[in-house]
Copies of this chain bind each other. A is one copy, B any other.
Amino acid sequence: MENLIIIGSGPAGHTAAIYAARAKLNPLMFEGAFAAGVAAGGQLTTTTEVENFPGFLSIQGPVLMDQMRRQSLHCGARILTETVDKVDVSQRPFKVWAGAQEYQARALIIATGATAKRMNLPGEDRLWQKGISACAVCDGGLPFFRNKVLAVVGGGDSAVEESTYLTKFASKVLMLVRRDVLRASKVMQERAQNNPKIEIMFNTLPVEILGEKSVSGLKIKNAMTKAESTLDIGGLFYAIGHLPNTSFLGGQLALDEAGYIKTQPGTTQTNVEGVFAAGDVQDKRYRQAVTSAGTGCMAALEAEHFLSTHSH
């Protein structure tokens, strides 16, 4: 019987592990084996330069995650490189299945993150993070993207947000919208239309990403005429949404309409006592490494408090 099982190994999971281990909860982490298509360590392992994690002028994403992992181990957390398939939170102790094994725990922290949706276009795997990103706030300020023509794929509110953000750095931002209207709200539509640096291209489908060592162009197709053409761009941002990794929960925790775990605002408490959620799996608004880390800490402190007040 475990005190605390932590599912997930991004900044939220590892910060929870560090705090829980220091609180002598002897936590067990399932870091996942390429869970949800992402390596253990989470989304930061798919990035290169990180300039906005406080304390590091600049650090490679995978290096930062490796340091957090070493810190978790150093503090006494145990880490299994397994993906959790299923949980049962209908009663305590909670049950967790990974591989063929069943585990039991008095408390759970779920920190399985969200995965940015990709299009799986030709060229995408080869050029990922070499001019392709799914996070303008994370990557838009990098020198690489400055004063270039950038393309944003998507037509919703977050596509407008990301495009507007990128106009701070880009010479021009092309919003590529599949349909002939923006899905974004009225006020966001106006923001995009009134920004002289944003050009909205309707009925436009990306077809192939071009470039040798980094992105240099994008082959597109007109959804109406089927005519193909090529855009010269220096960067491509996907803003087609995220998929919170909550399917393994099988509907046992309350989720919002987009599939994110609901928590009591300002805490990490889910609707099941003793089950806490931290990081992007419960956050569709901020989604930064440091905000995830913050909620991981909160979850560990809340779990510690829960365990010290519930002896069984």
Contacts and interface: CB of A to CB of B under 8 A. Distances in A.
Q: How large is the interface on A (under 10, 10 to 19, 20 to 34, 35 or more residues)?
A: 35 or more
Main secondary structure of the interface of A (DSSP, over half): helix
A147 to B, nearest CB: 13
Contacts of A137: 19, 23, 301
Contacts of A6: none
Contacts of A265: 264-266
B15 A54 contact: yes
Q: Report copies per complex.
A: 2
Given A294-B290, A297-B286, A165 B55 contact: no
A93 interface: no
Contact of A23 (B11, B165, B298): B165
A288 B265 CA distance: 18
B298 A286 contact: yes
Contacts of A54: 11, 14-15, 18, 68, 71, 293, 296
A201 interface: no
Nearest to A15: B54
Interface centre among A11, A55, A56, A137 (most CB of B within 10 A): A55
Contacts of A305: 161
Contact of A56 (B55, B141, B298): B55
Interface string A134-171: 00010001000000000000000000010011001100
A204 B161 CA distance: 59
Given A24-B168, A141-B22, A74 B55 contact: no
17 contacts: A14-B54, A18-B52, A22-B51, A23-B137, A23-B141, A24-B141, A24-B169, A53-B55, A54-B68, A55-B71, A57-B70, A57-B71, A137-B301, A288-B294, A290-B294, A291-B297, A294-B295
